[in-house]
Structure 1
Amino acid sequence: MPPASRIRRRGAPRPLASRTKRRYLAEVVASEKSQVIAHIRQHYKRALKRLPPSLIPRVAKAGVCIGFLDPVCNIIANTDREGQQRRGTMPRRARRLLTSYFRYLTAWEALYYLRRSRADLLVAVHLVEEDRATRGFALDHPITKVALACAARSAMHPRPDAFMPASVSLASRRRQMCSLLAPLRPISDVTAERISRMSEEGLQPPAAEPHQELMRLAAARTRAFTNVPPPVELQSCFEQSTKKVLMDKIHGFYLEAISRIPKTLLRSRLHRALLKAGHCYGPFEPVGNILVNTIWYDAAFPTSLELEVDMIRNESLAIAESCSLHGLVAFLRALGPEPDDELSTPGNLWNLLLHNACILDKCISSAPGLLRESSITEFVAYRAAAVAAYHPNPAALAHFAARALTPDDVQTISRALSRNNPPDKPARQVKELTPRASQIVAAIRKEFQAHQRLIRERVEAALLEHARMQGDDYEIHAICGVNTKIPDSRG
């Protein structure tokens, strides 16, 4: 228990240092917001100079700068002849789209990207994708539609449901919009009416994907902006977001690896090796490393105690994924950078892994400070990774990973994947549990199996319903990502 002097009464004021830090952080965020507002005001000034006099009073009703064109064109295109008074601040509207579209993106980070992009929403999307090493933007993607709808509602747009399809429709006609909204050319009432009709025509399927062309233009506009790093005060916020994005990527590696393991092997034996030692660091790409490390551990350290499972618990998979990240970071740290080196900080290493798809060879080649001088150094690095990842046998894993795989090794791995027979190696002896420990394990197993039966029944029912509605038959390979809050049949 902490000393009495360190216990703060409920409702008591926070310590001065904490209050000062929060106040200073609020000032930093306010500064970011004020700069975004200044950029938005400039966009409105340019738009007002080009709009016909009859439409200028309508800008305040629906002329938001949200959309898939540049900000000035968005304001002009969104200006409507009808609607109620708009409420809410413009930075909040654009910020809502970014935080709705990008997972783990905080409001503070969204403000930074809007400031860096000069309130150009598509440029901000491009900058986030660059920093997160993703290329997933598409006009017709469900996430894009949801994010745009959230932004429209946050902006108190008079017709939020019509705003999203209208924005997509105009973006898919970018070339026509460019000719209508040529730079510095005043907009006539006839042109405004034509844009209004185009917004109601729906998505136009062009020869090339419209989002690819839009993102190329956004990238071109990015080159005109200065690459300003985020404020130091918000650095930890950015690092935590990077870590979460990286963990999502690692989660995807595990799901792909699970899908590649034969169902009978996964359910009978390999689920144990996958969760205990199937880490994604090694000499190959992450999915290959997970498969190789899983099969090697099962062959090198088999067990006679098998448990047939259909479901892998979220918590167990999350632990394995977290161990993999610890191992990846430890491997890179062991290869070169000194403790006080800038590259050795967690945030920089997470970025390095994210931008190189967690492939260690790519990380090493893209970072001059990481050098492998000999196979001994590589062995030490793999052992450090295994220790950090809580591998059951770090030394054995390091010997296996640091050596080049021979044809016999490849044949052994292929044989292990192609049959459902346990390896010839004798099973490792397991210490006998005490009676009390045996009771606890038996109770946990019984509870897990009951929950597994419930989940399997519900998944099978959902698949049958899908087959009835869509005509597609699916077979359960493995169940992952289960919501543990699902009540049983009695609840």
Structure 2
Amino acid sequence: MAGRRRRGGSDGGGYGDGAGSGAGPNLSDGSREGMARNRRVILGLMYGYYEEALDALPLELMPALATRLLDAGVCFGFADPVTNIIANTLRFVADEPGDPARGERPEFDGARKGKKSEVLSKIVAGDVPSPPEARTVAERSLEGLITFLTSYYRYLPTWDALRYLRLSMADLLVAVRLIEVDRCLRRKDRFHIHSHAAKTALKCAALSARLPDVDSAFLIGLAAPLSHLTRTLPAQNSGRRRCRCRLSIQDVTRLSRLLQKPLDLKNLNNPMNHAAMRCRQYDMKVQPTLMPSIRGILLDRIHAVYLRAISRIPMEDFRSRYHHGLLKAGYCYGPFNPMFNIIINTVWYDTMFPAPESYELDMICTQIFIRIESQSLDGLTDMLVARVSGLSEHDAMVYLLKSNLDLTQAIQMAGQNGYDTRSWDVTAYKAAAHASSHPELEAYLWFAMELLPTVQSAVMELLTHTLSSSHILHLSELLSSSRSYPYNSLQPTDELTQDALEMVSSYKSNFFSQQNFVRKKVEATLQNYDQTKGLYELRFICTVNECVGKKSFRDLKYPYSHVNFWVSAKDGTNLTLFFAQVSNDDEDKLHDQSFCLPVSSLLTNARCCYCDFEGTRILHPIESYCGGAIDFKKMALGRHTIHNEQIISHGKLIACQGGILGEDYIYFDPARDSKFIQALNKAAWAAKLNWGDEIRRIKGSEKKRKLKESDEVKGKSIRQMEACT
């Protein structure tokens, strides 16, 4: 076994041989070879932990403990890995007369003989990963650790989870602590063992590790006797290994009983404090967070800012007018905080470039909403890179995380770290507008550099109040001063074909039909929730995911939609964000599964595999819903139609989309959207095209081209012959 640990350490992951420092190969290597290498290193560490645990257990007096360990002695829990192994083993040990743990198990000779080497031989895995049904307890422990991290955290692929587990030396809560530091999580967003998300992740870990008699209540209870276990199992450093006191039969019986008691969360010492102490035992130089993960976290925060900005604008004004300005150019970058920037940019754009056709909406277009959030992040990042000389895109995102999207604070942080920070100039605004594909770049530069500084104090004073319709009108007047950009009235340069016009009309009709359907469903669930009190009134639907709950790829329709929407008291005050799960069936046959609940936080960590997959960032309550805990448990068992890697890749694809969307027809402006006209004309032509005729036309054109080339070659040959004669 010592050889096993040394071989793991040579890769940069053994006891003191680089596991904590990140020495050796690139831990961020996501290749198949890199993942296999990290798995080997982590398993090598685990073999040492199991050797320590076996040294502490009285196998010669209670030989069946070995069988219990091989069945259930996984190394994940809320203590250090060795303590977790012992605790998970003892949790399955009975203390009644005739307890099999006190006797011998004839099916396991190694336990009867009390030979630790034979037990270890059944823990050590080969170089080739075993199939699920034949995995050793160490391999199952690793699967549980990976599943816990990927179930709890968004945007964490398996190979990145392996990186954190290797850096943390396979210590679950140390890995959690590293992720918290790496992702710059604020105190209120940090890991809590009593949270619904933590319990779900533990249950998923237990399922993937194929534990017998899986019960999350017992697993969560591992934190309760932590102080008792650490007092009973003191560890002393002895060279490269830590020696633990040997348990007696009385210790095993007492700890087994203690592990059966329910957890008292009120009197629980935070295990993360112990994890922080274990972190300090290693010189952990965590490699930079991967950009896709940072981007996902930033988009989560930007989405929360947009929801707050929508709630600050009077709903009557937003529904009738400013939904247009927000989705066209309501970016979160500028001289103020992100929420104020969204409101200012929204009101300015809608004032100067009003929609050609005004109509009242009850529901925002989700796909355009996703795009404006992504474009906002691109603009915010490029603005920071332009302001700070020598700053990389990755580091810019890290500063935005640390400053919680506050650009001024991010610039100050960079300056304190030795970067050259420039003053505000047109270069920064131009970089942001270009990166975000601003529809009126030159006009925005004039607004940001010439007009806004002259009214900045008045605008700031106005935004500090609760905004009313009169405040918004005053803001619009301030942002459309006579010193504004000399806008030119435009005439359409292209026209929609008749087929394209019919397509736009059909699209609009479909959108309003969908809006009416969703509104009806949401109002029904809200009425059912509020039927005895009558307190709430639907104000606006923010985000919709219609693709929830499909059980297999053969299904043609998703049964549910998930929705976020704002409601208010009957007098129009006290906006509250709600979540609803509604049936997609017209006849509402699944009405018993439709419900709505308020969302407790704009940054809740309750996950939904379907909404994560679609990149919609819908905020969910902690109560049960389709796509929640039950679905993640199926994923842990490999019985779901999607898995974690698919969720990350598809969600990233949706969140990073740019350019023209089909939904842009909602805000189509013939004078300004020439690219959209060209794209729609082409799409309408392709939709109506008879492909058989087109193929014959292409073949005919190709035949004519070849004949023409042949004639040209013949003509050239004749001219050459005539020249020779």
TM-score range, shorter chain: 0.7 to 0.9
Query: Contact between 2:414 and 2:421, CA under 8 Å: does it hold in 1?
Result: no
Q: Distance in 2 between matches of 1:92 and 1:361?
A: 43
Change in 2 beyond 3 A, CA 1:464/1:198: farther
Query: Contact between 2:325 and 2:346, CA under 8 Å: does it hold in 1?
Result: yes
- Indicate the residue corresponding to 1:332 in structure 2: 384
Give the stretch that moved more between structures: 87-96 or 147-156.
87-96
Tell me the amino acid that sits aligned with residue 277 of structure 2. Answer: A
TM score, norm. by length of structure 2: 0.57
State how many pairs are aligned: 451
Shift in Å, 1:435:
6.9
- Indicate the residue corresponding to 2:228 in structure 1: 176
Q: Distance in 2 between matches of 1:262 and 1:204?
A: 45
Q: Which secondary structure does the structure 2 equivalent of 1:224 belong to?
A: coil
Q: Which secondary structure does the structure 2 equivalent of 1:308 belong to?
A: coil
- Indicate the residue corresponding to 2:406 in structure 1: 359
Change in 2 beyond 3 A, CA 1:257/1:200: farther
Q: Distance in 1 between matches of 2:146 and 2:464?
A: 50
- Indicate the residue corresponding to 2:329 in structure 1: 277
- Indicate the residue corresponding to 2:181 in structure 1: 130
Q: Distance in 2 between matches of 1:262 and 1:182?
A: 61
Change in 2 beyond 3 A, CA 1:200/1:401: farther
Tell me the amino acid that sits aligned with residue 65 of structure 1. Answer: C
Change in 2 beyond 3 A, CA 1:408/1:347: closer
Q: Distance in 1 between matches of 2:290 and 2:534?
A: 42
Change in 2 beyond 3 A, CA 1:415/1:157: closer
Q: Which secondary structure does the structure 2 equivalent of 1:367 belong to?
A: helix
- Indicate the residue corresponding to 1:81 in structure 2: 93
1:458 aligns with 2:493: no
Query: Contact between 1:335 and 1:381, CA under 8 Å: does it hold in 2?
Result: yes
Tell me the amino acid that sits aligned with residue 273 of structure 2. Answer: R
Q: How does 1:298-377 map to 2 (within 5 A)?
A: 298-303=350-355, 305-338=357-390, 343-344=391-392, 346-368=393-415, 370-375=419-424, 377=425
Q: How does 1:35-50 map to 2 (within 5 A)?
A: 35-50=41-56
Shift in Å, 1:395:
3.8
- Indicate the residue corresponding to 2:284 in structure 1: 227
Q: Distance in 2 between matches of 1:473 and 1:413?
A: 28
Give the stretch that moved more between structures: 141-150 or 349-358.
349-358
1:203 aligns with 2:263: yes
Change in 2 beyond 3 A, CA 1:434/1:116: closer
Q: Which has the larger radius of gyration?
A: 2
Q: Distance in 1 between matches of 2:181 and 2:465?
A: 41
1:214 aligns with 2:311: no
1:37-57 deviation per Cα after TM superposition (whole angstroms, max 9, x unaligned): 011111111111111221234
Change in 2 beyond 3 A, CA 1:356/1:185: same
Q: Which structure dedicates a bigger proportion of its chain to helix?
A: 1
1:443 aligns with 2:506: yes
Tell me the amino acid that sits aligned with residue 269 of structure 1. Answer: R
Query: Contact between 2:194 and 2:265, CA under 8 Å: does it hold in 1?
Result: no
Q: Distance in 1 between matches of 2:385 and 2:335?
A: 16
1:247-302 deviation per Cα after TM superposition (whole angstroms, max 9, x unaligned): 22222222222233222122111111111111111223322322232233333444
- Indicate the residue corresponding to 1:3 in structure 2: none
Q: Distance in 2 between matches of 1:415 and 1:202?
A: 49
Query: Contact between 1:270 and 1:295, CA under 8 Å: does it hold in 2?
Result: yes
Tell me the amino acid that sits aligned with residue 192 of structure 1. Answer: V
Shift in Å, 1:409:
2.6
1:484 aligns with 2:546: yes
Change in 2 beyond 3 A, CA 1:355/1:295: same
Query: Contact between 2:312 and 2:466, CA under 8 Å: does it hold in 1?
Result: no
Shift in Å, 1:408:
3.0
- Indicate the residue corresponding to 2:157 in structure 1: 106
Query: Contact between 1:275 and 1:316, CA under 8 Å: does it hold in 2?
Result: yes
Shift in Å, 1:173:
4.2
Q: Distance in 2 between matches of 1:354 and 1:117?
A: 23
- Indicate the residue corresponding to 1:17 in structure 2: none
Shift in Å, 1:361:
1.4
Q: How does 1:47-66 map to 2 (within 5 A)?
A: 47-53=53-59, 54=62, 55-66=65-76
Shift in Å, 1:93:
1.7
Query: Contact between 2:313 and 2:468, CA under 8 Å: does it hold in 1?
Result: no
- Indicate the residue corresponding to 1:288 in structure 2: 340
Change in 2 beyond 3 A, CA 1:193/1:479: farther
Query: Contact between 1:295 and 1:413, CA under 8 Å: does it hold in 2?
Result: no
Tell me the amino acid that sits aligned with residue 484 of structure 1. Answer: E
Change in 2 beyond 3 A, CA 1:400/1:204: farther
Q: Which secondary structure does the structure 2 equivalent of 1:478 belong to?
A: strand
Give the stretch that moved more between structures: 353-362 or 184-193.
184-193
Q: Which secondary structure does the structure 2 equivalent of 1:320 belong to?
A: helix
Shift in Å, 1:430:
7.5
Could you tell me which runs of 5 or more consecutive residues in structure 1 were left unpaired when the two chains were aligned: 1-22
1:336-387 deviation per Cα after TM superposition (whole angstroms, max 9, x unaligned): 435xxxx32x333323322322211122122246544434x3x320222012
Give the stretch that moved more between structures: 321-330 or 364-373.
364-373
TM score, norm. by length of structure 1: 0.82
Change in 2 beyond 3 A, CA 1:254/1:286: same
- Indicate the residue corresponding to 1:29 in structure 2: 35
Give the stretch that moved more between structures: 243-252 or 297-306.
297-306
Q: Distance in 2 between matches of 1:332 and 1:247?
A: 16
Query: Contact between 2:222 and 2:259, CA under 8 Å: does it hold in 1?
Result: yes
Match of 2:77 among 67, 86, 105: 67
1:410-440 deviation per Cα after TM superposition (whole angstroms, max 9, x unaligned): 4665799311786566999685765735443
Q: Which secondary structure does the structure 1 equivalent of 2:538 belong to?
A: coil
Change in 2 beyond 3 A, CA 1:406/1:279: closer
Same amino acid, percent of matched pairs: 35
- Indicate the residue corresponding to 1:194 in structure 2: 254
Query: Contact between 1:87 and 1:155, CA under 8 Å: does it hold in 2?
Result: no
